[in-house]
Amino acid sequence: MHDDHDHHHDNHLDPMAARVKALETILTEKGLIDPAAIDVIIDTYENKVGPRNGAKVVARAWTDPAFSDWLRRDATAAIASLGFSGRQGEHMQAVFNTPDTHNLIVCTLCSCYPWSVLGLPPVWYKAPPYRSRAVIDPRSVLEEFGLGLPAETRIRVWDSTAELRYLVVPMRPDGAEEWSEDRLASLVTRDSMIGTAQVKLPDAP
Partner 1 sequence: MNGPQDLGGQMGFGPVAPELDEPIFHSEWEKRALGLTLCAGAMGHWNIDESRHARESLHPADYYASSYYEIWTKALETLLERHGFVSREERMAGRSLGAGTAAKRKLIAADVPAVLARGGPCDRPVASAPRFKAGDRVRTKTINPAGHTRLPRYARDKVGVIEAVRDGFVFPDTNAQGQGENAQYVYTIAFDGTEIWGQDADPTLSVSIDAWESYLEPA
User: Among residues 132 and 180, whose Cβ is nearest to partner 1?
Assistant: 132
Q: Establish if 52 lies at the interface with partner 1 (CB under 8 A).
A: no
Q: How far is the CB of 17 from partner 1 (least distance, A)?
A: 4
112 counts as catalytic = yes
Asked if 163 touches partner 1 (CB under 8 A), the answer is yes
Is residue 159 near partner 1 by the rule CB under 8 A?
yes
> Of the candidates 3, 4, 29, 177, which one interacts with partner 1 according to CB under 8 A?
29
Cβ within 8 Å of residue 2, ≥6 positions away: none
Nearer Cβ to partner 1, position 1 or 8?
Answer: 8
Instruction: Give the count of alpha carbons within 13 A of 44, CB side only.
Output: 14
How far, in Å, CA of 29 to CA of 11, rounded? 20
Rounded least distance, CB 80 to partner 1, Å: 10
155 binding partner 1? (CB under 8 A): yes
CB 192 within 8 A of CB 168: yes
Contact indicator for 31, 64 with CB cutoff of 8 Å: no
Binding residue for partner 1 (CB under 8 A) from 131, 167, 179, 187? 131
- 68 is an active site residue: no
- Told to check if 164 binds partner 1 by CB under 8 A, we report yes
Query: Does 81 sit near partner 1 (CB under 8 A)?
Result: no
Residue 27 in contact with residue 33, Cβ under 8 Å? Answer: yes
CA proximity to 97, closest of 186, 199, 184 = 199
Establish if 82 lies at the interface with partner 1 (CB under 8 A).
no
Q: Of 31, 65, 99, 202, which lies in the binding site for partner 1, with binding defined by CB under 8 A?
A: 31
Q: Is 185 exposed, middle or buried (0-12, 13-18, 19+ CB in 10 A)?
A: buried
Return the number of the residue (63 or 200) whose C-beta is nearest partner 1: 200
b or e along 52-84 (b: 16 or more beta carbons within 10 Å of the residue's beta carbon)?
A: bbbbbbbbbbbeeeebbebbeeebbebbeeeeb
Q: Which residues carry out catalysis?
A: 107, 110-112
